[in-house]
């Protein structure tokens, strides 16, 4: 399955910057797929589209009768939240610029830290 990062590569600043620096699109897409495959090996699946749509029953349950409430469900995402997407972007930026720090760090103890641990494991870097 193609990573959503590959599908939406044109919208990623890190991809635009890499291409402006001279990397060709096939190298960028290969890097995305390689990293996404590594994430899938850690988390059980890579990045895919997550459900987004109207939730009439939820709107009614919370007293929004007649309102159209839309919900984006990121719980099926890598590491269970949208945070993994952000941190994958960081890992992609490091890979595309050939910047390879010895370790990674994050100031969090919540979902961001959990997501960072998954991405760090996928790129084989210790996380502090």
What's residue 106's pLDDT?
A: 93
CA distance 49 to 9: 14
Judged by DSSP in three states, 3 sits in: coil
For the segment 16-33, what is each residue's pLDDT rounded down to a tens digit?
A: 999 999 999 999 999 999
Element holding 72 (H helix, E strand)? strand 70-72
pTM of the model: 0.84
Q: At 45, is the pLDDT very low, low, confident or very high (cuts 50, 70, 90)?
A: very high
pLDDT at residue 113 above 90? yes
CA distance 83 to 114: 9
What is the distance of C-alpha 114 from the center of its chain? 13
């Amino acid at each position: 399955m193609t990573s959503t990062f590959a599908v939406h590569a044109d919208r990623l600043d890190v991809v635009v910057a890499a291409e402006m620096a001279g990397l060709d699109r096939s190298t960028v897409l290969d890097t995305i797929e390689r990293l996404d495959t590594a994430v899938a090996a850690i988390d059980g699946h890579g990045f895919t589209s997550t459900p987004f749509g109207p939730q009439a029953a939820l709107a009614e349950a919370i007293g929004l009768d007649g309102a159209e409430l839309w919900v984006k469900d990121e719980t099926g995402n890598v590491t269970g939240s949208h945070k993994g997407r952000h941190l994958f972007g960081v890992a992609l930026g490091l890979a595309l610029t050939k910047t390879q720090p010895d370790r990674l760090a994050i100031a969090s103890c919540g979902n961001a830290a959990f997501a960072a641990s998954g991405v760090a494991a996928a790129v084989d870097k210790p996380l502090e």
